[in-house]
Structure 1
Amino acid sequence: MSDNRLAVQLLTGPEAPEPNGVGEPGLSVLDAVESRRSIRRFLPDPVSNDTITRILTAAARAPSGTNFQPWNVHVVVGEARDRLSRAVIAAAEAGERSDEYAYAPAPIPEPYLSRRRQVGYALYNLYGIERTDYESRKRAMLRNFEFFGAPMGLFFTMENSLLHGSWLDCGMFMQNVMILARAFGLETCPQQAWCEYGRVVHEQLNIPDTHVVLSGMAIGKSDPSAPENSLISERVEVSQFTQFHE
């Protein structure tokens, strides 16, 4: 592991060329944040190692308590990406779930359950899937493990001996990655779904048991023709989650 704790592991096949285009130079920080969305169908255009290294270098300016910089990143492309996809899909189809950690309480309380259902039904509607069509819903879920067609996947880990503060730090680092990607004409989809098969991810990427896999992330160019990419999940008004103390 490198001294600066960024520890970017590039798992590559043949070197990928630079993607076409120069990003969105007119995109302000405000626009980049306000128009960010989770993309669920990507174009196959490759993302170069140089591009992702540039994004991760800038993202590492994220704040971290007493400068811990607890994040580690595994980058998968080419055969490494495909091999991981095959292994996790096989585990999912065999019902061999191995949760890395509990993402949400069980049962999920309100209002969170309703919000979850609302975005889920909206996505299935864009896919053209009926609520009772469980087979199609399963196939849609498995597309997570194909990175929604993105040519590159990222996996974020940290040492499992660290506590809640480091989870906050890693979340801010991931947000930086998602916003910075847009400066290069790229989009992302954070994918905690991979953590439901954490054992397989550990094995395929040689992630030590002393690390927890926090999340995966698909990154690439958005497919503008995909109906599912038009989904904009609702956000509650500021007045519903903010109190001003004067």
Structure 2
Amino acid sequence: MLDYQPFPNEPHCIDRSERGQQGAGLHGGEGLLRSAGHLKRRIAERVACGDSGDEREFAFYPPQLGSPYRERLADMGARRYGALGIAADDAQARARVRAENWNCFGASTALFCYLDRDMSTPQWADSGMFLQTVMLLLRAEGLHSCTQIAWAEYHHTVNELISPPNERMLFCGMSVGYANPASTHPSIPRAPLTETVTFLE
């Protein structure tokens, strides 16, 4: 499992990442960096009470996830929990591991990415490029990060503390800190190039 340690200063990469590619210059997303302590406590209280989260504002996965995506998702879960010695039928242990999402995996700081509700699919792609740019620049500063769509499951609580404009929708969070080299986490293989790229002559 990922295990982060806090860092003392605000990273410089957020400003630099805004210079990345944005389709037609719309900048339909927004990144907000904040100390996550109070937010982690608030969501931990909800999770401890068995609260499964808020209504979804968008689908995390297609309703009918077909092959080979279904198999890839199952394989990732098996590797993740298997690396921690957690059996497939141990629902309690799996829930405890999953709850670490809302503890930022031990990190003290999180970035939250919001999208304007009027934006369309290309602007979601722009936000993905923004997030990856942030993550690459964080590594250049010696920091580690993990994007987490899980934060959108408790978007009401996040919004209460961040107070975004009504036209903004929480897309995901990103934990930021120094990775603990002693932590246990699996290496998730990527699909082979032959499955993801077609080379045309």
TM-score, length basis structure 2: 0.93
- Mapped to 2, the partners of 1:235 and 1:129 lie a distance apart of 22
Confirm or deny that 1:66 pairs with 2:21. no
1:14-29 equivalences under 5 Å are: none
Counterpart in the other structure of 1:241: 196
C-alpha change, 1:200 and 1:233, in structure 2 (3 Å) is same
> Runs (4+) of structure 1 moved beyond 4 Å?
none
Q: What residue identity is the alignment partner of 2:198?
A: Q
Counterpart in the other structure of 1:88: 43
Quote how far apart the aligned CAs of 1:136 are: 0.7
- Mapped to 1, the partners of 2:8 and 2:143 lie a distance apart of 9
Secondary structure at the counterpart of residue 4 of structure 2: coil
- Mapped to 2, the partners of 1:176 and 1:184 lie a distance apart of 13
- Mapped to 1, the partners of 2:200 and 2:87 lie a distance apart of 46
- Mapped to 1, the partners of 2:81 and 2:200 lie a distance apart of 41
- Mapped to 1, the partners of 2:102 and 2:88 lie a distance apart of 21
Name the stretch that deviates more: 191-200 or 90-99. 90-99
Confirm or deny that 1:124 pairs with 2:81. yes
Find 1:179's aligned residue among 136, 139, 148. Answer: 136
- Mapped to 2, the partners of 1:185 and 1:234 lie a distance apart of 24
How many percent of aligned residue pairs carry the same amino acid? Answer: 27
Secondary structure at the counterpart of residue 147 of structure 2: strand
C-alpha change, 1:240 and 1:95, in structure 2 (3 Å) is closer
Aligned residue pairs: how many? 199
- Mapped to 2, the partners of 1:241 and 1:128 lie a distance apart of 31
Quote how far apart the aligned CAs of 1:95 are: 2.7
Counterpart in the other structure of 1:41: 3
CA contact (8 A) 1:101 1:195 kept: no
Confirm or deny that 1:56 pairs with 2:20. no
TM-score, length basis structure 1: 0.76
Quote how far apart the aligned CAs of 1:129 are: 1.2
Quote how far apart the aligned CAs of 1:170 are: 0.7
Name the stretch that deviates more: 62-71 or 91-100. 91-100
CA contact (8 A) 1:150 1:218 kept: yes
CA contact (8 A) 1:41 1:222 kept: yes
Q: Deviations over 1:69-112 (max 9, x none)?
A: 222111121xxx12211222233332343323111112322211
- Mapped to 1, the partners of 2:169 and 2:20 lie a distance apart of 20
Q: Which runs of 5+ in 1 are unaligned?
A: 1-38
Secondary structure at the counterpart of residue 179 of structure 2: coil
Secondary structure at the counterpart of residue 40 of structure 1: coil
C-alpha change, 1:125 and 1:233, in structure 2 (3 Å) is same
CA contact (8 A) 2:2 2:184 kept: no
CA contact (8 A) 1:124 1:137 kept: yes
- Mapped to 2, the partners of 1:208 and 1:145 lie a distance apart of 23
Counterpart in the other structure of 1:202: 159
Taking CA–CA contacts closer than 8 Å with sequence separation of 6 or more, which of the two structures ends up with the larger relative contact order?
2
Q: Which runs of 5+ in 2 are unaligned?
A: none
CA contact (8 A) 1:100 1:197 kept: no
Quote how far apart the aligned CAs of 1:60 are: 1.2
CA contact (8 A) 1:178 1:187 kept: yes
Aligned Cα root-mean-square deviation (Å): 1.5
Confirm or deny that 1:165 pairs with 2:122. yes
Q: What residue identity is the alignment partner of 1:232?
A: S
